[in-house]
Amino acid sequence: MDKDTLYARWLSGEITAEEEQELKQSGALEELEAITRFTDSSRLPPYDPKAALEKFKATRMQPKAAKVRRLDWRWYAGAAASVTVLLGLWFWLGSGNSSLDAAPGEMAERTFQDGSSIVLNDGSRITYQDSDWGEERRISLEGEALFDVTKGVPFIVETAQGEVRVLGTSFNVRAWDEHFRIECYSGKVAIERNGQRDTIVAGEAGQWRDNQWEIARDLVATSPAWSDGKSVFKGEPWNAAFQELGRQYNVQVEHPDIDAPFVGNFPHNNLDTALYILLRPKGLKYETSADRSEVRIFK
């Protein structure tokens, strides 16, 4: 196995004992462990998930108007029934549409008339029409969102990649260009793309690959990775990881085109650490502008 793959597998926690021994013998393991120690030391302090859940439920009991402000992502990560949705651009035609946007580096929240709630991650947008949700609840999204969907009539999320349909559950959707992955943490989720339908339940993940659904039944995560302050990639293009880096840190990223899958993760609280993890396997370098609003990646 080549060294780039070994580094990526170690950083994503998927390395075997034999592979770890190979890293140790090459002297690379000590350097990789130093990266982890540095990242751990930079993490935000822990939060109380039970207290956060109670606060989340209490807030949903009172109707409130939309508001946009800086939010602590750890607060919403405590909600047990939540969902992250990464979606492609899809505008809902018709009159009377409502919308909600989150500016880069900020988050936005909204509670709907049925009690369902949504928190938009930075740079995201939703459009919807909730005046008559008696038979169907339908939302179009661009970007990433955290959902708490109350049980009731079908709740439909429209995306350029496909459609996700639930009654009341928690799930995560990642949609980058042609890459489409859904993880189900509770309940059941119906997924559809190009006329091909499937269903996944808690502990399963569906990924669109080679024009068909691949179902993995070994999902151990109980919440989306971004709610824990990191971005995780399982074979998506390196270019998608660079784009995600730009969104999370609100920077412009200039990078070479890398036609290869990236397996690994990077933290959201330290740009230099994130760049090191992303660039080290390919031997790339980087430089930032004086105000650190731009990053140039080069060989």
Domain boundary among the residues 182, 216, 250 is at: 216
To which H or E segment does residue 136 belong? none
Whether residue 26 is found in the same domain as residue 169: no
In terms of DSSP bridges, do strands 261-267 and 212-216 run parallel, antiparallel, or are they unpaired? Answer: unpaired
Whether residue 177 is found in the same domain as residue 288: no
Whether 178 is covered by a domain: the verdict is: yes
Instruction: Give the model's pLDDT for residue 56.
Output: 43
The total number of structural domains that make up the chain:
2
Burial 230-265 (b: 16+ CB within 10 A, else e): bbbbbebbbbbbbebbbbbbebebebeeeeebbbbb
Alpha carbon distance 24, 10 (integer Å)? 11
Domain boundary among the residues 193, 216, 239 is at: 216
Regions of the chain with pLDDT less than 70: 1-14, 23, 27-96, 105, 176
Assign residue 260 the CATH number of its domain.
Answer: 3.55.50.30
Whether residue 18 is found in the same domain as residue 95: no
Instruction: Give the model's pLDDT for residue 86.
Output: 39
Whether 33 is covered by a domain: the verdict is: yes
Instruction: Give the model's pLDDT for residue 10.
Output: 63
Instruction: Give the model's pLDDT for residue 193.
Output: 93
pTM, full prediction: 0.62
Whether residue 112 is found in the same domain as residue 146: yes
